[in-house]
């Protein structure tokens, strides 16, 4: 989020000049960081789920080839999935808090001069 802040200094200055409050700017950055964290958690769950299914498929083919029974090695309880999404959202919030505070405290005139 610090890189996002540095890339958008000019935009922050424009928002503040046209009337955005410090609270609005802070809320914008925090919302963006929570969304990024949540999407990261969801995409991680999807990749993990697909990887687990692929691994299970391979293990079951191997088990059947060697005369064993097919088994399911991975479980995905709902409470665990929700915990992962909540945790990734919280990480997004925490990593976005300091840049959001810096963006909110920024002087509009200095932000407009920044290049």
- The overall average pLDDT reported for the chain is 90
The model carries a pTM of 0.81
DSSP at 73: -
Helix (H, G, I), strand (E, B) or coil at 56: helix
Q: Domain extents for the chain?
A: 2-113
Question: Integer distance in angstroms from the first to the last C-alpha of the chain?
Answer: 18
Tens of pLDDT along 75-86? 889 999 999 999
Angle at 100 between CA 94 and CA 105, to 5 degrees: 140
Cα separation, 29 vs 32, whole angstroms: 5
pLDDT in tens, 40-85: 999 999 999 999 999 999 999 999 888 888 888 888 899 999 999 9
Q: What is the distance between the alpha carbons of residues 30 and 63, in angstroms, rounded to a whole number?
A: 48
């Amino acid at each position: 989020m610090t890189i996002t802040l540095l890339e958008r200094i000019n935009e922050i200055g424009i928002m503040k000049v046209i009337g955005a409050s410090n609270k609005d700017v802070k809320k914008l950055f925090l919302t963006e960081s929570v969304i990024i964290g949540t999407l990261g958690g969801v995409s991680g769950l999807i990749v993990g789920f697909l990887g687990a299914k692929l691994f299970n498929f391979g293990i079951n083919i191997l088990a059947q080839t060697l005369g064993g029974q097919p088994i399911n090695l991975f479980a995905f309880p709902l409470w665990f999935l929700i915990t992962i999404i909540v945790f990734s959202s919280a990480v997004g919030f925490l990593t976005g808090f300091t840049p959001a505070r810096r963006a909110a405290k920024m002087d509009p005139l200095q932000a407009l001069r920044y290049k």
